[in-house]
Copies of this chain bind each other. A is one copy, B any other.
Amino acid sequence: MKVTTEYLYFNTKKRQEFVRITDDLAGIVKKSGVTEGLMLVAAMHITAGVFVNDWENGLIHDFQVWLEKLAPAGLEYRHHQTGEDNADAHLKRTIMGREVTLPITNGALDLGPWEQVFYAEFDGQRKKRVVVKVMGE
């Protein structure tokens, strides 16, 4: 069995930004030499997430409008009494998800035709990290 660990780093220009990482992950599978197994991809920060969905700018816009409706910025969150101003980012990442686990089959990510993996930043403009763990044979 092989287990490998990689980290992806992000420092987005905007506070909220979705970054496609499918190709980075495909590269990590190749480098790992694993042909059958699982890949965990998880945000290491609690105001960011990882999700799988469509690579279509209109839908990415829709996601962001929708998240703002479900978990608005600028409310009087109790978390802000600590000096923070990002409670909404914690809530938004909860909707989108912290992590995905991807199957590796025949030496490649076993994804459907429209599946793309994204890093979802909700409190960016600073250095953030994603852990990628590959386990298999």
**Complex copy number for this chain:** 3
Contacts of A97 in B (CB 8 A): 94, 97-98
Interface presence of A26 (CB below 8 A)? no
A15-54: which residues lie under 8 A (CB-CB) from chain B?
A: 36-38, 40, 42-46, 51-54
Q: A46-B52, A52-B98, A54-B46 are in contact. Are A62 and B91 (CB under 8 A)?
A: yes
Q: Which one of A38, A40, A103 has the highest number of Cβ atoms from chain B below 10 Å of its Cβ?
A: A103
Interface presence of A99 (CB below 8 A)? yes
A93-132: which residues lie under 8 A (CB-CB) from chain B?
A: 94-103, 105, 110-112, 114-115, 129, 131
Whole-angstrom CA separation of A66 from B78 in the bound complex: 11
Q: Please state if A59 and B38 are interface contacts (CB–CB under 8 Å).
A: no
Partner of A45, one of B1, B95, B96, B114: B114
Partner of A103, one of B5, B80, B87, B136: B5
Whole-angstrom CA separation of A37 from B96 in the bound complex: 25
Q: How far is the CB of A103 from chain B (nearest CB, A)?
A: 4
Interface presence of A14 (CB below 8 A)? no
- Chain A residues proximal to chain B, CB less than 8 Å: 1, 3, 5, 36-38, 40, 42-46, 51-54, 56, 58-59, 61-63, 66, 70-71, 77-82, 87, 90-91, 94-103, 105, 110-112, 114-115, 129, 131, 133, 135-137
